[in-house]
Amino acid sequence: VSYITLTTDFGTHDWFVGTMKGVISRLAPRTQVIDLSHEIPAGAIRTGAFALTAAYSFFPKKTVHLAIVDPGVGTGRRAIGIETSNYFFVGPDNGLLSWAVASEGIKAVHSLDNGRYFLPQLSATFHGRDLFAPVAAHLSSGVPLRKMGRHLKEFNRLPWPEAKQSRHGIAGEILYIDRFGNGITNIPSHLLPSQAGRLKIVLRRRHVCPVAPSYNAVPPQCPLGVVGSSGFLEIAINGGNAAEVLKLRVGLPIEVRKSEPRTTRVPI
Amino acid sequence: VSYITLTTDFGTHDWFVGTMKGVISRLAPRTQVIDLSHEIPAGAIRTGAFALTAAYSFFPKKTVHLAIVDPGVGTGRRAIGIETSNYFFVGPDNGLLSWAVASEGIKAVHSLDNGRYFLPQLSATFHGRDLFAPVAAHLSSGVPLRKMGRHLKEFNRLPWPEAKQSRHGIAGEILYIDRFGNGITNIPSHLLPSQAGRLKIVLRRRHVCPVAPSYNAVPPQCPLGVVGSSGFLEIAINGGNAAEVLKLRVGLPIEVRKSEPRTTRVPI
Amino acid sequence: VSYITLTTDFGTHDWFVGTMKGVISRLAPRTQVIDLSHEIPAGAIRTGAFALTAAYSFFPKKTVHLAIVDPGVGTGRRAIGIETSNYFFVGPDNGLLSWAVASEGIKAVHSLDNGRYFLPQLSATFHGRDLFAPVAAHLSSGVPLRKMGRHLKEFNRLPWPEAKQSRHGIAGEILYIDRFGNGITNIPSHLLPSQAGRLKIVLRRRHVCPVAPSYNAVPPQCPLGVVGSSGFLEIAINGGNAAEVLKLRVGLPIEVRKSEPRTTRVPI
């Protein structure tokens, strides 16, 4: 069995994703297709890049991770395939794949320009069906990446917003808001000082919550910081929706500070 | 081929469900995963319990039904596996599984505490990926449930809201509202007197509709009661949305009465 | 491996689709099920017919395309199966299948009335689970269509809204609005005169946009007409949502005219 994952902004209301699976099933009948998400906001390359980064490593080796958030479809933007030590990544060359491959050993990057591996007709608007799905299917069937197009020395990378040491602690930002309203930050757990119980999170110059080991370590409906399942600090509310209550949005700066024992909690 | 079904409140906007499928595909590559629903409202244990109850029996024997609506994740709440005559059920021990197993012969209940069957690292917030998905994968591959943890004599059960005989007929409540706006009640078809054409439904002290054999037995846009596909009485509108028009909500009391020939229909 | 596709208005919030997959997995364990869409608006037969038409031809031969948008469930409406040169189509006889099969060579049409291929109990409201899923499963396992019920000479067809020559060009209408807000029209690419760069689209008596080869052929946020991936003219906005900005809706008339060099662009 081999696997292809899909991460797109196509939604599931239309026939787009199903059609890509049809194309894959014709070319690679033994390949299983697994949806990561089709609800990346339209054109939101960074959101797609983060979702792929959070999920890709839980799949079997040799899985082909196909990601399409592609506002430049139909222009001259390149399509690329990247082979790493463990996986293949396929998508437009707009940075979408760059965060996920950053911690993988990159073995080769190729332009996807060999039309022999596309559908016979290439539409102007749906390369997911006509180019990416067939290329991913051929890769999952064992066709070597080097046959798909010319070798590339460079590809486009998105800058990763590094968390930084600040005067009072660590300064970061919200990267992603999930379905529960949790705000995932760019602060990895290893940057947090070890005495997590004594850390507090500051948003819009106000202390809003402590860092705690789990949702239930604070009373119901209280906000907290917690190291989430992706290994990053998340801002959450025990039993509630932090994005709504705290007005979180992607890009919002946050700071983690050591908690002074005498700090007064400011109402939010 | 073996099967795992998934019933969660994770939604499909993020990578959570896809990541669980990745974990399953690594541990049990021949297992097929089928989504029941990922749109259980966040933390709505009863809604999840009902969805599982309505669907589980249509799957092949030995299917592993994995359900996760788990507001207590990261606290000391137990994770359990239940083996019945026909299936396995896996989830948090908060009552979520209890309605579905109530009509199955329970063979054994085990705590899921043997970390050997988890992912190597257990996050505080995503036991779906780190504990439940691997346990379900191992079960579907044939590992016996008794190896997963200690035998339990008890587990948590949700009280089932029994429909009752009332002075004028049968008193029940709305249990679930589906995508079409149909309100599924807790009144099973076998409690309805046989002359269905002569029964009426009373909501908020008003007679709102007759019980009829199918949607089209009443004129378009008229409300009716109909025995739905789960075997319970449903309140629907022929070609319309009963939840919106009749302001149905989960928990709303309803009554079924024998229809007096002279009853005047009160406008709604 | 054999395939069944699903196109329904069932949504994915409830257990309906998952239950159908359970039924299929019991009867045809080697069949893969692929979702085309479950978000067809409730009862919108034409929308479902268009989605099926746009997608069906990308699947392997012998795929069983099961479509259910079935406001007449529980009445006497017929269920039908259609065998074409390449595929099987299964659904209610309300026109839903008729656009897709129009360009296929029809080999046989049968009523689905042989209860031997249904589930033992047929509910009044969920023929997707009790009738259509088992029939599709048996077809995908190789049971001949003729065993499913009597041969039919006729079935219900939806009129296709033909684009027409108008005094100034081609008159058509919006058929479908996709997740990106693109309005897909009924004007096939072969009706467009070849000098696409010189064509303009008229909506509500105003010239709103040129016809262009790709989204990026016009400046960002500008509207355009483009031949979409289904082979029909679409109205889109480069980087934006045409349905919202231009107030597109299904059925809205549009006209394509040859662009006069001196035409002044009217603000929208």
User: For residue C154, what are the CA distances in angstroms to A220, C89, C110, C111?
Assistant: 63, 15, 9, 10
Q: What angle do CA C67, C73, C78 make, to 5 degrees?
A: 75
- Whether the per-residue pLDDT at B168 is higher than 90: the answer is no
Cβ burial of C168 (10 Å; 0-12, 13-18, 19+) is exposed
Cα end-to-end distance, chain B, whole Å: 52
Cα A113 from Cα A101, distance rounded (Å): 21
DSSP bridge pairs for C63: none
Label residue A260 by pLDDT band (50, 70, 90): low
In chain B, what residues touch C13 (CB-CB under 8 Å)? 37, 39, 178-179
Beta carbons of A32 and B25 less than 8 Å apart:
yes
Q: Which DSSP category does A73 fall into?
A: T
Beta carbons of C59 and A25 less than 8 Å apart:
yes
Size of interface A-C (CB pairs under 8 A): 89
Beta carbons of B239 and C25 less than 8 Å apart:
no
Predicted pLDDT of residue A195: 61
Query: Which whole number is the average pLDDT over B75-84?
Result: 93
- Whether the per-residue pLDDT at B172 is higher than 60: the answer is yes
pLDDT in tens, chain C (268 residues): 899 999 999 999 999 999 999 999 999 999 999 999 999 999 999 999 999 999 999 999 999 999 999 988 877 889 999 999 999 999 999 999 999 999 899 999 999 999 999 999 999 889 999 999 999 999 999 999 999 999 999 999 999 999 999 988 999 999 999 999 999 999 999 998 876 558 999 999 888 899 998 888 899 999 999 999 999 999 999 989 999 999 999 999 999 998 765 545 555 5
CA dihedral B166, B170, B172, B178 (to 10 degrees): -160
In chain B, what residues touch C23 (CB-CB under 8 Å)? 58
C228 touches chain A (CB under 8 A): yes
Maximum C-alpha span of chain C:
70
3-state secondary structure (DSSP) of residue C55: helix
In chain B, what residues touch A36 (CB-CB under 8 Å)? 15, 18-19
Q: What is the pLDDT of residues B240-258, one digit of tens each?
A: 999 999 999 999 999 999 8
- Whether the per-residue pLDDT at B91 is higher than 90: the answer is yes
Predicted pLDDT of residue B66: 98
Query: Which whole number is the average pLDDT over B7-27?
Result: 97
ipTM: 0.93
Cα C82 from Cα B263, distance rounded (Å): 48
**Out of A3, A37, A39, closest to residue B25 by CB:** A3
